[in-house]
């Protein structure tokens, strides 16, 4: 089986999103192959990947000429995450933005890794100042900029400097296709014939996906366990036995029944049509994951139900807070506030250590099964 062929010609944003997920798993596989016994690799809990010493944000771009510009969300969202997690990750020596995007000669990020923290601070201040002076609103970036540059007693400029000293940009990194080809030639697979290695890579990524995505309480990939799995697959390969493939096809195909569900109608009611496709995909993926989890653990459905209830509790609180912020003479802005509620829910609501797309699926499951409405109406304000 040619593992990479299913994503070599992505035709839509859903396929590109899946390619981004594959890239993260390929990076995880490379790190697992090159880690020492006793180490751990964590998926999604404090960033895309975390090892004992490094925290990674991983960004894939299919276009080999795609560049990391000053106002790129990849950088600012990553930096904002590191600011939020600075105390949790205080023992980590590097925060790495690993991206297939290139950094051009005239970019602010050129020579970033050699700069002192004060110089990095000046660079991002200059970008921030230019953004504030620009006629473009940069609505997508503003929440991250506000988080980074709003100082108080609990978060000072010195703490930002302490974060910046750790921030490293690994740009122009090999994209998913090149990384996959290089992994096929990894020294860890020298025991196998070249025509067997595609299946080996698929098997090992299956192990990572199952440990890092389908088991909500088992986010750490133990290198000793990974190595034992690899050794068993090596034995099977040498004996021409069938390999283990503990992976799952997370279908992104949206069926008609899903598009007719209540959670879709409630998004359309905002109205927020550009979010419908993504919501349907995330809901479908979550249902697929739940099926696999339930087959492996009979208590999975009960735990999932608790997560759905918790999502509802947090949604109610979030909507109440946003409604308090709406003035009675600003009812014409209710659609805007409804969209803010929708976006904040995706960013802020957490019911466990779960990937964002699966967490969104949990939120949509609650919306589908409850009377909660995204659309903020006049009566919501009056209450």
CA distance 202 to 225: 17
For residue 152, list its beta bridge partners.
155
Phi, psi (degrees; rounded to nearest 5) at 69: -85, 170
Using DSSP's 3-state secondary structure scheme, residue 223 falls into helix
E strand or H helix at 42:
strand 40-43
Question: How many angstroms from the chain centroid is the CA of residue 245?
Answer: 24
pLDDT in tens, 174-189: 888 889 899 999 999 9
Answer whether residue 360 shows pLDDT above 90.
no
Residue whose token pair is 């944003």 = 13
Crossing angle for the helix pair 194-209 and 13-34, nearest 10 degrees?
100
Kindly report whether the global pTM for this prediction surpasses the value 0.75: no
- How many Å is the Cα radius of gyration of the chain? 22
Residue 212: DSSP 8-state = I
pLDDT at 9: 38
E strand or H helix at 50:
strand 49-50
Lowest mean pLDDT segment, chosen from 72-81, 184-193, 308-317, 345-354: 345-354
pLDDT at 176: 84
Answer whether residue 160 shows pLDDT above 90.
yes
pLDDT at 7: 36
Answer whether residue 294 shows pLDDT above 90.
no
pLDDT at 233: 93
Phi, psi (degrees; rounded to nearest 5) at 290: -60, -40
pLDDT at 380: 67
pLDDT in tens, 216-235: 455 788 999 999 999 999 99
Considering the chain, what is the average pLDDT of its residues?
83
Answer whether residue 20 shows pLDDT above 90.
no
Is residue 3 very low, low, confident or very high in pLDDT (cuts 50, 70, 90)?
very low
Lowest mean pLDDT segment, chosen from 7-16, 65-74, 92-101, 291-300: 7-16
pLDDT in tens, 62-106: 788 899 999 999 999 999 999 999 999 999 999 999 999 999 999
Percentage of the residues of the chain whose pLDDT score is greater than 90: 42
Alpha helices in the chain (DSSP H): 13-34, 73-84, 117-133, 142-149, 157-164, 176-184, 194-209, 223-238, 256-259, 262-268, 276-296, 300-324, 334-348, 356-369, 378-382
Return all residues near 125 (Cβ < 8 A) that are at least 6 apart. none
E strand or H helix at 169:
strand 167-170
CA distance 28 to 33: 9
Domain boundaries along the sequence of the chain: 257-382
Lowest mean pLDDT segment, chosen from 191-195, 271-275, 351-355: 351-355
């Amino acid at each position: 089986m040619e593992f990479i062929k299913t994503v070599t010609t992505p035709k839509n944003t859903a396929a590109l999103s899946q390619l981004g997920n594959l890239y993260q798993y390929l990076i995880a596989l490379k790190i697992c192959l090159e880690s020492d016994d006793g180490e751990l690799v964590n998926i999604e809990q404090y960033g895309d990947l975390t090892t004992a010493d490094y925290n990674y944000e991983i960004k894939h771009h299919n276009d080999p000429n795609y560049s990391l510009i000053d106002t790129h969300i990849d950088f600012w969202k990553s930096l904002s995450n590191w600011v939020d997690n600075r105390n949790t990750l205080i023992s980590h020596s590097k925060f790495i933005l690993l991206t297939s995007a290139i950094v051009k000669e005239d970019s602010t990020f050129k020579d970033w890794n050699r700069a002192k923290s004060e110089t990095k601070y000046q660079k991002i201040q200059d970008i921030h100042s230019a953004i504030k002076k620009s006629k473009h609103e940069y609505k997508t970036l503003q929440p991250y900029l506000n988080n980074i540059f709003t100082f108080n007693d609990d978060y000072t400029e010195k703490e930002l400097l302490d974060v910046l000293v750790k921030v490293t940009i690994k740009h122009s990194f090999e994209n998913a296709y090149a990384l996959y080809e290089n992994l096929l030639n990894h020294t860890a697979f020298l025991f196998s014939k070249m025509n067997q290695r595609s299946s080996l890579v698929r098997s090992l990524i299956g192990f990572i996906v199952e440990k890092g995505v389908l088991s909500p309480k088992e986010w750490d990939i133990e290198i000793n366990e990974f190595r034992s799995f690899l050794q068993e697959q090596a034995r099977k390969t040498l004996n021409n036995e069938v390999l283990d493939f503990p992976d799952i096809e997370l279908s992104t195909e949206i069926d008609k029944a899903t598009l007719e569900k209540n959670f879709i109608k409630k998004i359309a009611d905002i109205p927020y049509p550009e979010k419908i496709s993504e919501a349907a995909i995330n809901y479908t993926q979550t249902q697929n994951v739940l099926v696999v989890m339930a087959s492996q653990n009979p208590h999975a459905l009960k735990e999932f139900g608790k997560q759905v209830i918790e999502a509802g509790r947090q949604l109610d609180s979030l909507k109440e807070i946003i409604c308090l912020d709406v003035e009675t003479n600003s009812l014409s802005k209710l659609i805007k506030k409804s969209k803010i509620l929708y976006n904040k829910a995706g960013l802020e609501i957490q019911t466990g250590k779960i990937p964002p797309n699966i967490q969104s699926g949990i939120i949509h499951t609650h919306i589908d099964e409850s009377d909660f409405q995204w659309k903020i109406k006049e009566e919501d304000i009056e209450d």
